[in-house]
Structure 1
């Protein structure tokens, strides 16, 4: 899967989980039910961690400037901003190309994408589990 495809999927997923979380918060704070936040909160947390990880990988792979990379990371904090950020990167060619193998930092990652996906998924899940044990951002 090319960086462009992966980035679009993860950016869209992060935005969708924002919508679910906001809906859950509306239901919670209007005393309807807390189940929306209970479900959407962890989903969004996982999508957020995944987006941040993929942003860092694409930033290095596609040789983004510091400003673009930091803007990408910041876009995950503001609801729904991952979509316009990803679309802008696509339109301006910042998502073009494949995974590079000429970078000594990325070469081990790009040579074996299945193993890398497994390792990164494992790391994200461990970080997610630790954060869930600690508690939500406002809990």
Structure 2
């Protein structure tokens, strides 16, 4: 999967799960009918958020985005639906490639990594199945840890 496809899909998924979470919040706090929407929508959104963050880091490193651009991409996940205009902006600016720059062989340009972070990224691109499995385990572990910690408690 190309950086462009990965980033587009996760930007859309992140926005869709915002919708689920917001509907759940309306059901819980406005209509006071059920908390189930927040539990399901919030859980799905949490997973989508973590996956979008991971994808943004990958695409930013591979595309050599500036730190400011990468930070803006990460921040777009915090504001409802902001991942969509950020993705369109990144596309217009030519920041989303059809191939991984650090990818192996014909799948990428085969460009040599320059930094330790780029070497790590290149290694994970050479083993995509293992990377996805390890990434899913890490995302689920972070998600589980956040569930243990629990939601933020209002002050007062």
Fold match by TM threshold 0.5: yes
What does residue range 1-16 of structure 1 map to in structure 2 within 5 Å?
1-16=1-16
Match of 1:83 in 2: 84
Match of 1:109 in 2: 124
Moved over 2 A (4+): 136-139
Unpaired stretches in structure 2, ≥5 consecutive residues: 104-111, 114-118
Root-mean-square deviation (Å): 1.3
In the TM superposition, what is the alpha-carbon distance from 1:68 to its structure 2 partner?
A: 0.6
How many matched pairs? 139
Match of 1:64 in 2: 65
In the TM superposition, what is the alpha-carbon distance from 1:56 to its structure 2 partner?
A: 0.7
Match of 2:47 in 1: 46
Specify which structure has the bigger relative contact order, considering alpha-carbon pairs within 8 angstroms and separated by 6 or more residues. Answer: 1
The separation in 1 between residues aligned to 2:73 and 2:153, in whole angstroms, is 24
The normalised TM-score by structure 1 is 0.94
Query: Quick check: which has more Rg, 1 or 2?
Result: 2
Match of 1:23 in 2: 23
In the TM superposition, what is the alpha-carbon distance from 1:138 to its structure 2 partner?
A: 4.5
Match of 1:122 in 2: 137
